[in-house]
Amino acid sequence: MEESRIIIALDYPHAEQALNLSRQLDPARCRLKVGKELFTRAGPGLVECLADQGFSIFLDLKFNDIPHTVARACLAAADLGVWMLNVHALGGLSMMQAAQEALAKLSSRPLLIAVTVLTSMEQTALRQIGLAGTPEENVLRLARLTQEAGLDGVVCSGQEASALRQILEPPFLLVTPGIRPAGTAPGDQQRVLTPREALARGADYLVIGRPITGAPDPMAALERIEAEIQNS
């Protein structure tokens, strides 16, 4: 079986909810994302527990601080056995390089990617924080900086994936949140695509939350998305 390209976002406030979902899923068929709320409440122990169940874990904490602090945080995340983690590209070149260099010294290291522009942000929001240009222009600029720093890829909206693929070829990874199967509500994500559309535009991994976690039968929901991907 091919490695799964689906990362399920465990956007829960408590560990038991995440563990209840993990018991309904097959670690050979998906990966799991642990974000800020769940990690803050449940801590590293939950990440280690999910990894022990066989799941590949994307630790989505978007580290953004001085280079030394971020490098040490990335090493701490690697100690948890995560498959992938991220920093925020707005932290700058030196910060991303420090994180990459710290992980490069490990015999087995997780993938390191960077967030470019949050999928909830449109041009007005960018202008309010002093970033000129469109979301796509900012994504492209930050993605180039991420590649220069030696990271493995970026988190980006699927709507920017085509433009990114024109300037950043594989194995540079594109990890796309804001994925909604056809017919589902966009929620708080503004720049959304279906799984088929995102893959067609060059995405490598798809981050999907509520369409699976909010489904009566999460494994059946995952299988429907798998079928959509296989038919694309």
Q: Which of 26, 52, 65, 105 is catalytic?
A: 65
**Is 68 known to sit in a ligand binding site?**
yes
**Is 119 known to sit in a ligand binding site?**
yes
Q: Which two tokens mark 165?
A: 């693929």
| Residue 217 falls in the annotated catalytic set | no
Q: Which two tokens mark 115?
A: 């967030």
Q: Residues 65, 91: contact at Cβ < 8 Å?
A: yes
Q: How many CB atoms lie within 10 A of CB 143?
A: 26
| Secondary structure of residue 196 in the 3-state scheme | helix
**Is 134 known to sit in a ligand binding site?**
no
**Is 138 known to sit in a ligand binding site?**
no
Q: Which of 26, 52, 60, 217 is catalytic?
A: 60
**Is 60 known to sit in a ligand binding site?**
yes
**Is 61 known to sit in a ligand binding site?**
yes
| Residue 188 falls in the annotated catalytic set | no
Give the end-to-end CA distance of the chain in Å, rounded to a whole number: 17
Closest CA to 176 of 212, 149, 139, 145: 139
**Is 189 known to sit in a ligand binding site?**
yes
Closest CA to 30 of 1, 52, 69: 1
Q: Which residue spans within the chain are E strands per DSSP? A: 6-9, 31-34, 57-63, 84-88, 111-115, 153-155, 173-176, 205-208
Of all helices (H) and strands (E), which one includes residue 65?
none
**Is 145 known to sit in a ligand binding site?**
no
**Is 44 known to sit in a ligand binding site?**
no
| Residue 60 falls in the annotated catalytic set | yes
Q: Which of 36, 52, 62, 79 is catalytic?
A: 62
Burial of 151 by CB count in 10 Å (0-12 exposed, 13-18 middle, 19+ buried)? Answer: buried
| Residues carrying an active site annotation | 60, 62, 65
- Residues annotated in the binding site, as ranges? 11, 33, 60-69, 119, 180, 189, 209-210
- Residues annotated in the binding site for substrate, as ranges? 11, 33, 60-69, 119, 180, 189, 209-210
